[in-house]
A and B are shown apart, each in its own frame.
Chain A
Amino acid sequence: MAAEIQARPRGRLPRWACRASLFQPREPAFWLYLLLLVGTGLLALGQQRSLREMSPSGWVLSWALLALYLVPMVALVYLLDAYEREPPSLVVGALAWGAVAATSLAGLANHDWGAVVARLGGPDLAAQWTAALTAPLVEETLKAVGVVLIYLIARSELNGLMDGFVYGAMVGLGFAVVENVFYFVGQFGGQPAGVLGGFFIRVLASGLYGHVLYSGLTGMGIAWFVTRTDQPRGRRLVIAAAFCLAAVLAHFLWNSPLLNLFPTGALSPLELLVAIPLAAAVKGIPFLVLVVLLVVLARRQERRWLEAAAAGEVGGPALAAEELEVLERPARRWRARRAMRRRAGRRAASLLRRLQRQQLSLAMLRTRLGDEDDPDLVGQRQRIAHTRQALQAAVGRAGRPSP
């Protein structure tokens, strides 16, 4: 018990092990989400149709190339959440909001706000500054609305900064992919050479710096506001606003002529291959470092939560202290399974994977079940005991000499 108190981090533990889905017909937010997604979906389909008509081959090539970016990025963001991965339906819902609703609404709003900048400052100022003055506020707000809707649909799933980052980054990823299709076909000419050039500039050279990071940070701000209920409301608001403002400022810097070292004159292909990634890095790397740092801190916070949640089980039949040390780090879990596969085969490694998941679930169940003898906890301990027995048997069989 003393160990539990010592390990307990400041603030309340999140209520893990709640598996909500996107489909919540009793939540008004679900219907609002659906209405906006369907309404803007018609706009988005129309836009994709006209892009396809402009250049059928360029459109297909754009989507094919962006699939190569989308799949690993989804996996990377999804797997960053080391202990309680978000429900797939909510992740897909976040991605769809960014790809469909946020992009369609941003297309309308950016155009109108661009006209406001042109009216106030004239066409020359607008040509230089519209993208910086309108898109960051418009697009970050529209993407943030997606994260807020996901939270309102499934409140129990937004437990900490890491969850906010995952949902925000997924919204940003969906946005980035659809926006890039528009750029590849509409701005880079739509021919295969133009699409490949666009892919190099917007994905290979600068794909790490854009919407995924901005809305990941916004998502963290929203998560801070809704989860840190141990803090005064005003403080939560200020910190959440600071996260969102940082995202807007990073987007502003990226779109503005400030620190713009992108080459404009006639350069050789080799020079472009070097100059464009360097120019992108100057604008993007400081912000990337900031977000990576925040993600590391968020993961550390989740590890402390795990330690605190599992403390009451450590030393018992369900969880040994050395097992908790392995559970805390995804890389150690992976190494342990690899070692098990070498030692006792694929079946034993698969059982170890199951055991680790069940132990994580046990810790998460403890965050929402106060009674030590709650039937859910007892049942989970029994499941762990069965898996452990099966694992020991698999290891024993592997160690026995062949007849």
Chain B
Amino acid sequence: MLLVLAAVVLGGRVAGSALSVPGPPVQVAAGVSVRPLSGWRPVRQGPGVLLTRGSGSLSVLPADGDADPATLAGAYVRQALAPNAQGLSLSQGLETVRLDGGQVGVRFAYQGTFRGQGRATPLQGEVTAVVGRRAGVVFDAWAAPEVYEYGRSDVQAMIETAEVA
């Protein structure tokens, strides 16, 4: 019976870890690379890379390595999110995150209706801004609100294993 309990309660974690082996790194910019999990397709987009799986997306944008992560996150809201969104709402405060490589960043969540491809779409997302010694990067992950939660663990795993020099 204990085996059954352990299999049910811990089996998902073990299976999840076994399935989340990152693929080969995709170079985003000098000193910035990301390792897509299986099922995520990388497409080069402007200066960065867009990773997609179904309607889930993770945009990886290189940024100025001189700014601190909070400043980088604020600039991203002003320049990328706010101009394209209606009814944008942001989570309270910034959460601190740490990548596997030791770099520290900040994270916040957002929700709003975004214009794109000729229509307005309600989206939920999460922005993570990380600065290394030489480079900075903004990760913006989003999906429809009912789908977002299901891509989140993949997104966070890819961010955690990203390299930011």
Contacts and interface: CB of A to CB of B under 8 A. Distances in A.
A370 B93 CA distance: 74
Nearest to A123: B151
Contacts of B71: none
A115 B147 contact: no
Q: How large is the interface on B (under 10, 10 to 19, 20 to 34, 35 or more residues)?
A: 20 to 34
A105 B9 contact: yes
Nearest to A109: B9
Interface residues of A, number: 30
Given A109-B8, A148-B1, A124 B19 contact: no
Interface string A104-136: 010011011111111110111111001000100
A209 B8 CA distance: 24
Contacts of A114: 12, 150
Interface string A145-171: 100110000000000000000000000
A367 B88 CA distance: 71
A100 interface: no
A354 B13 CA distance: 55
A144 to B, nearest CB: 9
Contacts of B154: 118-119, 123
B12 A118 contact: no
Contact of A118 (B1, B4, B151): B151
Nearest to B7: A141
Contacts of A126: 147, 150-151
B1 A105 contact: no
Contacts of B148: 123
A119 B8 contact: no
Given A122-B53, A122-B54, A141-B4, A115 B16 contact: yes
A123 B147 CA distance: 6
B134 to A, nearest CB: 32
Contacts of B10: 112
Interface string B59-90: 00000000000000000000000000000000
Contact of A119 (B13, B16, B55, B144): B16
B112 to A, nearest CB: 19
B9 A125 contact: no
18 contacts: A32-B2, A105-B5, A109-B11, A112-B13, A113-B15, A117-B150, A118-B150, A119-B38, A122-B56, A122-B151, A123-B56, A123-B147, A123-B154, A124-B55, A125-B54, A126-B151, A127-B144, A142-B8
Interface of A: 32, 36, 105, 108-109, 111-120, 122-127, 130, 134, 137-138, 141-142, 145, 148-149
